[in-house]
Structure 1
Amino acid sequence: MTDQLDGADRRTAVIEALDVLGAGPEERFDRITRMTHEAFGVPLTFLNLVHHDVVTTQSTFGWHQGTSVPASEQFCATTVLTPEPMVIPDTALDPRFAHTAAVAEHGIRFYAGAPLSTLDGTRVGTLCVMDAQPREFSAADVALLRDLARWAERELVHSIERARVQRVLTGLLPEPLVLPGGTVDGLVVPHERGGDLVDWRVASDGALHATVGSVAAAGRAAALLAASARAAVVARTDVAVDAAITGLEAQLTPDLSAAGAVGSLLHVRLDPTDGRVTWADAGHGLALLARADGSVTPIRSTDRPFGLQHTGHRRTTGSADLGHGDRVVLLTAGALALAGVADVDGFADVVAAHPDDLLGHLRGLLPADGAGRDLAVVQVGRT
């Protein structure tokens, strides 16, 4: 999968976290497009979001709000790929866009747009102006459009309220899977500023892939970065475990570094036909191998997280054969803060004591008032 497609997946995940699509007209956005129209005297002003290969008009002055068109037909799909504003004085003279419906059918001859970014640096849309006549756009005009875009960015970021973040993070937990020879299920407890991520799915070769990780960052950026990391994981479902970790590190480290964040991942692959389980660890080190006979062995790692590891360092990998009833349990640090757990050895005791009802038992240990850290626990087993 190309870096561009990975970027599109990340952008879509962040837009879903913003939870503004389909919300209807909102004065906080309409005020921005109205003032942008007045500032430049153009007939068309848009605040657009780019996702799922379409461009959706979140707010507009002079057009139809809520409409979505293919990204391939829009200037904004190009603007969102660059960190700086894009200005086209005469679209009919630009070979990239002269043939598009916007120019050839709707008569758009001028475009200027500034990308909109969220806290983690993901560009999710644009604030743009259009005209039916070619026109010049000065450096002062570009600076003003950029300032108005920063205003729009602040409004987008403010959309991420606590309840919305929790819904997004809860939605990141896939449905339990039972397939011939294997099972997977999990428990995720999100918190507003948490950065835990969980994913599992069946690859095209029938193998079961499961990932648990965590992002540590300031404010709400952790939740957005975790959503981005999960999108990158999903994109590599059919990639070998060690290659998947290498690719994830190359993709995620620049975003984590830019946000002053670090992240860890533990990726597991189970072949349900023969019980062979392989894993690659990127600084996570929180997993247990639980046998049907009651023995529990920690799977440890001395690797550093993404953002702290030396470039080119080979990540810790391992493998084991699961018998019927054996499990691999993946967890995040929040699970060690549950009552009566304290550390990895304490959690291993809980796993050994609850071979059939681990997740139910852990739910019973959660604080009644909802306080505490975010946590995630995933069980991958052979039936």
Structure 2
Amino acid sequence: MTNHLDGADRRTAVIEALEVLGSGPEERFDRITRMTHEAFGVPLTFLNLVHHDLVTTQSTFGFQQGTSVPATEQFCATTVLSPDPMVIPDVALDVRFAQTPAATEYGIRFYAGAPLTMPDGTRVGTLCVMDAQPRVFSDEDLALLGDLARWAERELGHSIERGRVQRVLTGLVPDPVEVPGTSVVGLVVPNEDGGDLADWRVAADGSVHVTVGTVTAPGRASALLAASVRAAAVARTDVALGGAVAGLEAQLAHDLSAAGAVGSLLHLRFDPTSGHAEWVDAGHGPALHVRADGTVTALRSTDLPIGLQPTGVARTVGGVDLARGDRVVVVTDGALALDGVGGLDGLGALAAAHPDDLVEHVRRLVPAGTAEDVTVVVLTRR
């Protein structure tokens, strides 16, 4: 059958198939714009979708989420027409855009955007950065923006890929850990994509290690790659935290890149004797320190996912001290999206309200036949 859709109509049809428009803020997209902001130090970062005659902000750092503006003479409406990135070092000197509202009303002087392309070749939007000052954008900057755009593409395309692969991680979830002064319990509810990974174990020195992450890849690769990441983390149980993540990254970054995949993880080491925990967050995100009194602090890092951290930039090692009764709660995006959770803030409220049964409570919230992997791991200092 001949496809009679022109480029604009096909783009709109694919975007509608993604089922993300109007879905509200999603951490999986917000993490990308947040990381892009940190990578380039720009005040404005957008993940935009171009559909019908509109440009809709699916995620943003520094502007209003969910806004839609006419596509006429918008930067992103031009970027999406080409497979190549578009860079405007000084908007005031570009006759195409010098008189657009972005320049005249909002004072934008710099723009760099990379198109977002789906597996069928349809370009659906852009990942872009903007500034009120002209900027020079190097070849290295352009390459990094391209890498981040590929991450955004895989998160968007993941919606279409669901239901096409059988889980290979079933049965690999470890048993609960109970050691003097510490307990670790977890929940992994897989769907057929199999991109979540979770592991917890006791090292030879008595420290407790927790690893939670997600691999997003096209086709049938997510489960196999997630299993590889988990195995690489387990193999480095007795390696110092920073060295363990660096070694894992050196081993797997090429495989992830070759498969068109993005892997993120949070790797934590806890000393039951002192109560001190160290952690490295390679682009993962959702983690909380929940104190015994119910107060909650997010564990945050600006490090990028595996393979996207710039060469020579060491991973950030965070630290937190747990008093008795304190917990560290680490989840994946599927848990945050559950009805009854309500994102990271909602998870914090749930954790405070369920000091002893958070995992079981979340288990009851997971609908039968969920289309999302759901992973929750809770480490408690006793």
Sort the TM-score into its range (normalised by shorter chain): 0.5 to 0.7
Aligned partner of 2:208 in structure 1 is 208
Q: Cα 1:164–1:308, aligned 2, differ >3 Å: closer, same or farther?
A: closer
Contact 1:217–1:262 (Cα < 8 Å) also in 2? yes
Aligned partner of 2:373 in structure 1 is 374
Contact 1:292–1:324 (Cα < 8 Å) also in 2? yes
The CA deviation at 1:316 is 2.2
Give deviations 1:230-280, integer Å, cap 9, x for gaps. Answer: 110111000111111111111110000000111011011111111111111
Aligned partner of 1:177 in structure 2 is 177
Aligned partner of 2:336 in structure 1 is 336
Aligned partner of 1:62 in structure 2 is none
Q: Letter of the aligned partner of 2:222 in structure 1?
A: A
Contact 2:164–2:193 (Cα < 8 Å) also in 1? no
The CA deviation at 1:372 is 2.6
Contact 2:164–2:219 (Cα < 8 Å) also in 1? no
2:170 and 2:327 mapped to 1: Cα distance? Answer: 24
Structure 1: give runs of 5+ residues left out of the alignment.
1-161
Aligned partner of 2:295 in structure 1 is 295
2:343 and 2:165 mapped to 1: Cα distance? Answer: 31
The CA deviation at 1:163 is 11
The CA deviation at 1:192 is 1.1
Q: Letter of the aligned partner of 1:205 in structure 2?
A: D
Aligned partner of 1:231 in structure 2 is 231
Give deviations 1:29-76, integer Å, cap 9, x for gaps. Answer: xxxxxxxxxxxxxxxxxxxxxxxxxxxxxxxxxxxxxxxxxxxxxxxx
1:228 and 1:174 mapped to 2: Cα distance? Answer: 16
Contact 1:192–1:220 (Cα < 8 Å) also in 2? no
Aligned partner of 1:92 in structure 2 is none
Give deviations 1:118-160, integer Å, cap 9, x for gaps. Answer: xxxxxxxxxxxxxxxxxxxxxxxxxxxxxxxxxxxxxxxxxxx
Give TM-score, length-normalised by structure 2: 0.56
- SS for the counterpart of 2:201 is strand
1:220 and 1:353 mapped to 2: Cα distance? Answer: 38
The structure 1 segments of at least 4 consecutive aligned residues displaced by more than 2 Å after TM superposition are 162-166
Aligned partner of 1:286 in structure 2 is 286
1:215 and 1:312 mapped to 2: Cα distance? Answer: 23
1:377 and 1:295 mapped to 2: Cα distance? Answer: 19
Aligned partner of 2:19 in structure 1 is none
2:269 and 2:308 mapped to 1: Cα distance? Answer: 25
- SS for the counterpart of 1:334 is helix
1:312 and 1:376 mapped to 2: Cα distance? Answer: 32
1:230-269 equivalences in 2 (<5 Å): 230-269=230-269
- SS for the counterpart of 2:380 is strand
The CA deviation at 1:301 is 1.7
2:268 and 2:229 mapped to 1: Cα distance? Answer: 16
Q: Letter of the aligned partner of 1:215 in structure 2?
A: V
Contact 2:214–2:263 (Cα < 8 Å) also in 1? yes
- SS for the counterpart of 2:309 is coil
Contact 2:165–2:193 (Cα < 8 Å) also in 1? no
Aligned partner of 1:192 in structure 2 is 192
Give deviations 1:261-310, integer Å, cap 9, x for gaps. Answer: 11011011111111111111111111000100111111112221113221
Contact 2:165–2:219 (Cα < 8 Å) also in 1? no
- SS for the counterpart of 1:351 is helix
C-alpha RMSD of the superposition:
1.5
- SS for the counterpart of 1:274 is coil
2:186 and 2:349 mapped to 1: Cα distance? Answer: 18
Aligned partner of 1:307 in structure 2 is 307
Determine which structure has more spread, i.e. the larger CA radius of gyration.
Answer: 1
The CA deviation at 1:323 is 1.1
Give TM-score, length-normalised by structure 1: 0.56
Q: Letter of the aligned partner of 1:233 in structure 2?
A: A
Give deviations 1:318-364, integer Å, cap 9, x for gaps. Answer: 11111111110111111111003232111111111111110111011
